[in-house]
A and B are shown apart, each in its own frame.
Chain A
């Protein structure tokens, strides 16, 4: 009887859970573990040679000036992208929850950039930055736009920030709108009867009550921005002279073009640690600002 029962158990598990479990292990768990081992070796794709090298891959990651510069570049990029996208999304969501006519359609419009993938988005902005803006700059004499933004490091940086924030804003807006829906209406009404000014109301009532939404949005935008690859590839291709390579782009190049799998994987793990650190720290710091309605 007991034996039959455990057979049945195994049978149930096989039918319901086996396909998912097998693929989950094959695609995520095993590669992750192999990846950890990989960082301790100098595996070479061409010769299939692999020897244990201890932590030397990690040491070379922290001695790699190029990677550290790019990590710093990535952090600056994340900082401005997160700041701009969240500020824009917050303001747009605020306006779009105030009872305007046609809110739904305006919302749809702002969300549209999220329907397209990073590659298409990157090409779209590459066309704008390399052809359209220089045309406008020359025609109207705006010095800022006269040369293509993609040809220098500083302007390439802002091109990346703008293109990413353009997409992220509509996504975060949706979350902020949902978050504002949780702000009780009677508090707003009481405040406006008391004659509280608009900006004071935002500062003293809406922002404190929207902290949970802000935490989610900053978390999402930090983790997405740190891992940007597609936009980087399509917009600047890391150029000029690799100066606009984001960390993710650098890792792909290191592994699949220079065939340094071990170092590339060590860099990926360092990047993961950096993302986790910033994402969790902001959650911790912001959550302390939370208030009950």
Chain B
């Protein structure tokens, strides 16, 4: 929506523009600061954090790369995010299809349980979760984390797809069934392609959640080789004196992958947040 141009000027258009840009600079100041200082030595940073670096020095990045075990952490994060999101998308769209098209009592009860569970914060689940899976000796395995993300992602995924599938006319499937298609085939060839817009929303929200998640992996993945990116930044603060310059380089390297994704998928991300929140 936009107010008319004339009212724009009437309500102090220039003041508004100056104000919003000032606010934006204030908002982005922290980013600018760590970018600038990631090219300086820690000593130079402490002497004057506002000075520009004299040369483009990538030493901090190399140090952070090594200390964080960046390649390992990055591939852990990538693997966990991609596989969990793929599982969530497939499992929840299939379940939502089942709930919409097969009007059985068990389906209704399950759907209600899933909706209700969306109000539960992770904090209410985490202690028994660690207790149960610790007792079963299943902690400290990536596969456990993958299935946990699947479980936690299911309710929102089913809920999101449910509303969308309800809007798809049954005639499409009916003709497929008449021609002898199985329900699996019908789902994958007819329903799944139609779900694309809602799945993009779901993927975006789940990727942001899982890529940045800290608490769950910190409880499940204990050995250093399993660390995801958010866990690996811990390395800079575990010693008594913090070495700021490599830390800042490390933070930037953690942010960059998701920033690149954002620049490409901006439209979908904004749409996903809006839809996810308004539901």
Residues of A near any B CB (own CB < 8 A)? 9, 12-13, 15-17, 19-21, 23-24, 26-32, 34-35, 38, 43, 45, 88, 92, 95-100, 106-120, 123-125, 127-128, 131-132, 135-136, 166, 169-171, 174-175, 177-178, 180-181, 183, 185, 188-189, 192, 198, 216, 220, 223, 226-227, 229-230, 233-234, 248, 251-252, 255-256, 261, 264-265, 268-269, 271-272, 275-276
Contact = CB atoms under 8 A, between A and B. Distances in A.
B174 interface: no
B85 interface: no
Contacts of B123: 227, 229, 248, 251, 268, 271-272
A27 B16 CA distance: 49
B58 interface: no
B117 A127 contact: no
A23 to B, nearest CB: 4
Nearest to A266: B127
Given A135-B49, A136-B50, 12 more contacts: A19-B150, A28-B155, A92-B20, A98-B3, A98-B16, A99-B2, A106-B24, A123-B233, A123-B247, A124-B251, A132-B50, A227-B122
A171 B273 contact: yes
Given A24-B151, A251-B123, A17 B110 contact: yes
B270 interface: yes
B181 to A, nearest CB: 14
Interface residues of B, number: 98
Given A198-B11, A268-B123, A115 B128 contact: no
B129 A120 contact: no
17 contacts: A12-B183, A19-B150, A31-B128, A34-B128, A95-B16, A100-B17, A111-B270, A112-B28, A124-B251, A125-B30, A127-B34, A132-B50, A198-B12, A220-B277, A229-B215, A230-B214, A230-B215
B266 interface: yes
B121 A223 contact: yes
A192 B3 contact: yes
Contacts of A115: 208, 212, 255, 258-259, 262
B49 A131 contact: yes
Interface string B8-40: 101110001101110110011011011000000
A290 to B, nearest CB: 15
Contact of A123 (B1, B131, B251, B269): B251
B152 interface: yes
Interface of B: 1-5, 7-8, 10-12, 16-17, 19-21, 23-24, 27-28, 30-31, 33-34, 45-46, 48-50, 87, 91-92, 94-95, 97-99, 102, 104, 106-107, 110, 113-114, 117, 119-132, 134, 147-148, 150-152, 154-155, 158, 183-184, 187, 208, 211-215, 219, 230, 233-234, 236-237, 244, 247-248, 251, 254-255, 258-259, 262, 266, 269-270, 273-274, 277-278
A25 to B, nearest CB: 8
Nearest to A37: B128
A29 B131 contact: no
Given A26-B151, A127-B247, A230-B214, A132 B273 contact: no
Contacts of B213: 117
A249 B83 CA distance: 29
Contact of B274 (A24, A30, A123, A175): A175
A175 B24 contact: no
Contacts of A109: 24, 27-28
